[in-house]
Amino acid sequence: MNIHLKVLLLEIKNFLLGNTVLTGAASLLLIGIYSFYHGHHVINRQRQTIASVPAVQKIHLQQIVEHGTGKAAGTTAYYPFFYTTHPASPWAEFSIGQRDVNPFTLKVKMLAIEGQLYDSELTNPLTLLAGNLDASFVFLFLFPLLIIAFTYNAFSEEQENGVWKMVRTTTRSIRAAIAGKLLVRLITILVITLLVFAMAAITLQLPVSLQTFKLLSVLMLYVLFWFMISMMVVALGKSSAFNATALVCIWIFLAILFPGAANIWVNNSIPVPEATETAIRQREGYHAKWDEPKKPTMEKFYAVYPQYRKYPVPDDSYSPGWYYAMQFSGDMESARSSEKLFDKLRQRQTLSERMGGFNPVIAAQQSLNKIANTDLTSHIRYLQSVKVHHRQIREYFYPFIFEETPTESIDWAGYPAYEPVRYTDESVRSGLLAILCWAAGTLVIALILFQRNFIQIKDIPNA
């Protein structure tokens, strides 16, 4: 039998039958299964809540109409809430992202919108702090550790117990021996990645589509990147203890310290005082109108809705048309800071993406959240859709309010249905490219190091 093949087979036997592979793969699989359960559990509860919304909305409106019977539309219009929902994409179960932090249902009244957009969901903050153990966490955090465990002693152990010297003297090609050892590990890692991903795809019922494929490509590249990092450290030719220490340190730096510092940096360089500013302005903008003459308020309203000019608004007493015009001008006055807030949030996203260029862990996380539509940008899209819906509702009810139609003669459920944001297919090219570049760069360094430390060794006693 060919000597190369023999060495390779021996390596396969040694590696695969060792304890590391079995324990590593088994524990990862176990945590993986738990993560699928967790992701499914969290998103499924959100789905159930979202499914309950139409019934809640229907009963709510019925009650409003019951109470309001006999009163004019303008009086009743103060009370109803209109629900909006942010449905989860099929990939959200894989990567929960920010969906646990941000509200996925929002209810709005016909009053000024800005005060209603940032209502938070009820959640246990400690649960948010601990974070989700979802499939993306398993891949982003735990897979690198598995790779480290598989590779840190690939050569050092044999150097330490003297086997490597025998390999060097017996084998005809040291390159082939090195390549064989690495290949066995790489293939094992890729097989486990595919296996866990396939399990995720089946249990979470990910659709067979381009998106799922994109998800897989991000993960495969990411896994490759970590394998290259391991290769690079191993190629230094140091002891097992050194390799393990160095790799764990790299992992901590890339997965904990760097993102932690980057996050502070992003928050510090793009502060969002606009959030509170919008709320303060909207409140003041609306309430001040009560004590001001009615005409300027109405003029502001007519500028957008000239069709209501024909309805009389008494100057010395309350009228529903005026009330909703006041609410409207509250929004108008806070519109600038609200726009600015959205803009700043987008800037934060862009800046974080740029950070991803320096750190494949961040790049991978953001790509996964993008594919799953569970990032901040997706939430902003949702908030914008709520704003649109709020406008549709106002515009549907304005004629009744100005006409002072009796509550019971209006179809309260006849407003334009809420149009949830559709799945947005965002490009993850930059993320993929970042991971690929880092992987390729590390590979080159690793190859140079192998050449220097393992292949062309001048110092024979150290070989």
Partner 1 sequence: MHFNFITIIARQEWTSIFRSKIPLALFTVLLLVSLLATFTGWQYVRKFNHQQKTAHQEVLDQWMNQPNRHPHRVAHYGYMVFREKSPLSFFDFGLDSYVGNAVFLEAHRQNTINMSEAGFSNGMLRFGELSMAMVLQLLVPLFIIFIGFQTVAGLKQNGVLKIMLCQRASFLDILLGKTAGITGVVWILFLPLLLLCLMAGNLLIAGGINADALTRIVLLTILYALYFLIITMLVVTVSALSKSSKNALMTLVLIWMLFFIVIPKTAQTLGSSLHTAPDKIAFEQAIEADVSKQGDSHDPDDPHFSQLKAATLRKYGVDSIAALPVNYGALVMQEGETISSGIFNKHFDNLIGIYKSQNTVSSIHALIDPYLAIRNLSMNLSGTDFDSFTAFQKQTEKYRFERTKKLNEIHLTRIKYQNDSKQKVSAENWQKQPDFTFQPVPVSRNLSDASLSLAALLLWVAAGFGALTYVSSKRAYQL
Is 241 among the residues that bind partner 1 (CB under 8 A)? Answer: yes
Q: Does 262 bind partner 1 (CB under 8 A)?
A: yes
Shortest separation between residue 167's beta carbon and partner 1, angstroms: 20
Give the footprint of partner 1 on residues 141-180 (CB under 8 A). 141-142, 145, 153
Contact pattern from residue 315 through residue 354 relative to partner 1, giving x for each residue in contact according to CB under 8 A and a dash for the rest? --xx--------------------------x--xx--x--
Alpha-carbon distance 175 to 339, whole Å?
60
Beta bridge partners of 406: 72
49 lies in the site for partner 1, by CB under 8 A = yes
Near partner 1 by CB under 8 A, which window of 294-302, 364-372, 416-424, 445-453? 364-372
Task: Tell me the C-alpha distance between 373 and 431, whole Å.
Answer: 15
CB of 30 vs partner 1, minimal distance in Å = 10
Q: Which of 5, 26, 34, 424 binds partner 1 (CB under 8 A)?
A: 34
Contact call for residue 97 and partner 1 (CB under 8 A): yes
Q: Residue 250, interface with partner 1 (CB under 8 A)?
A: no
358 binding partner 1? (CB under 8 A): no
Q: Nearest to residue 365, comparing CAs of 42, 196, 136, 131?
A: 136
| Lookup: tokens for 321 | 């048309």
Of residues 7 and 368, the one with the C-beta less far from partner 1: 368
Task: Report the residue from 118, 302, 396, 423 that binds partner 1 according to the rule CB under 8 A.
Answer: 118
| Interface stretch with partner 1, choices 44-52, 209-217, 438-446, 451-459 (CB under 8 A) | 44-52
Say whether residue 18 binds partner 1 (CB under 8 A). no
Which CB atom, from 89 or from 153, has the smaller least distance to partner 1? 153
Burial label, 210 (beta-carbon count in 10 A; 0-12, 13-18, 19+): exposed
- Give Cα 110 to chain centroid, integer Å: 31
Specify the 3-state DSSP secondary structure of 55: helix
Q: Which of residues 424-443 bind partner 1 (CB under 8 A)?
A: none
Phi first, then psi, for residue 101 (nearest 5°) are -85, -45
DSSP at 204: T
Q: Which of 6, 41, 175, 309 binds partner 1 (CB under 8 A)?
A: 41
Q: If you ran DSSP here, which 8-state letter would residue 72 be given?
A: B
Stretch of 6-14, 33-41, 226-234, 295-303 contacting partner 1, by CB under 8 A: 33-41
31 binds partner 1 (CB under 8 A): yes
92 sits near partner 1 (criterion: CB under 8 A): no
Please select the residue that binds partner 1; options are 187, 252, 440, 455, rule is CB under 8 A. Answer: 252
Nearer to partner 1 (CB atom), residue 180 or residue 259: 259
- Does residue 187 interact with partner 1 by CB under 8 A? no
Neighbouring residues of 278: CB distance < 8 A, sequence distance ≥ 6 = 114, 334, 337, 338, 341
Closest contact distance (angstroms) between CB of 256 and partner 1 is: 6
The DSSP code sequence of 77-135 is: TTS--EEEE-PPPGGGGT--TTTTTS-SEEEE-SS-STTTTTPPPP--HHHHHH----H
Q: What does each C-alpha distance from 263 to 131, 167, 417 come to in angstroms? A: 16, 48, 38
Q: Which stretch binds partner 1 (CB under 8 A): 101-109, 165-173, 192-200, 406-414?
A: 101-109
Both ends of the chain: CA-CA distance in Å? 27
Positions 124 through 143 that interact with partner 1 (CB under 8 A): 124-133, 137, 141-142
Give the burial class of 29: count Cβ atoms within 10 A of its Cβ; 0-12 exposed, 13-18 middle, 19 or more buried. middle
Q: Which of 84, 159, 338, 369 binds partner 1 (CB under 8 A)?
A: 369
Q: Which two tokens stand for residue 162?
A: 């003297």
The alpha carbons of the chain give a radius of gyration, in whole angstroms, of 30
Handedness of CA 223, 224, 228, 234 (dihedral sign): positive
Q: Give the number of residues in contact with partner 1, rule: CB under 8 A.
A: 84
As measured in angstroms, the least distance from the Cβ of 354 to partner 1 is 12
Within 10 angstroms of residue 318's Cβ, the number of other Cβ atoms is 11
Residue of 47, 283, 300, 340 that binds partner 1 (CB under 8 A): 283
Q: Please, which residue, 37 or 311, has the CB nearer to partner 1?
A: 37
Stretch binding partner 1 (CB under 8 A), from 171-179, 214-222, 285-293, 400-408: 285-293
Choose among 430, 446, 434, 438: nearest CA to 225: 438
- Could you say whether residue 377 binds partner 1 (CB under 8 A)? yes
Determine, following the binding rule CB under 8 A, whether residue 73 of this chain makes contact with partner 1: no
Cα torsion 237, 240, 242, 244: sign = positive
Cα–Cα distance, 322 to 274 (Å, whole number)? 28
